[in-house]
Amino acid sequence: MPASVRVAAITLGVLAALLLVNAGLLWYGFDVTVDRIAREGNAISHAEARRFVLLALIPYLVIGLILALSAWFLPRRQPWARWIGLAASFVLALLTLFSMIAAGGVTVSSLLLFVLSAAAVTSLLARTTGLWVPRLRSRA
């Protein structure tokens, strides 16, 4: 297995673990988080706070699951794992970039997610990864 595939699989696995742990912790403290947002927010209702927390939780949970599948099947030379991992990493990088812009600053976690996403995209697009993983569709 080329080094680029190893780096991609490890990076995808770390990203998946970070996102799934974050989603799990947010789900575990769901009611506390909703109450805090409703209490500290300016004219934010309880229903709006629930919607906000769910909209923060669901994308990262889905992307985390997709990245976990990609990390698991990429070393097994599954072509779909390369492309699904690439798409999920790219979407995660964009989400992280937009959240940094919206927040008006960079946090350690957002920087870590962005750097790992960029590393995953770079490794999955590497020539050696493309040569090692079979084509998605073979030409007949």
What are the residue boundaries of the structural domains of the chain, listed by start? 3-132
Q: Is the pLDDT of residue 139 over 80?
A: no
Q: What is the pLDDT of residues 89-122, one digit of tens each?
A: 999 999 999 989 998 889 999 999 999 999 999 9
- Entry pTM: 0.87
Q: What is the DSSP letter of 136?
A: S
Q: Is the pLDDT of residue 140 over 70?
A: no
Sign of CA dihedral 70, 108, 101, 50: positive
Name the amino acid, one letter, at 132.
Answer: W
| Separation between Cα atoms, residue 63 and residue 86, nearest integer Å | 11
Q: What is the pLDDT of residue 49?
A: 87
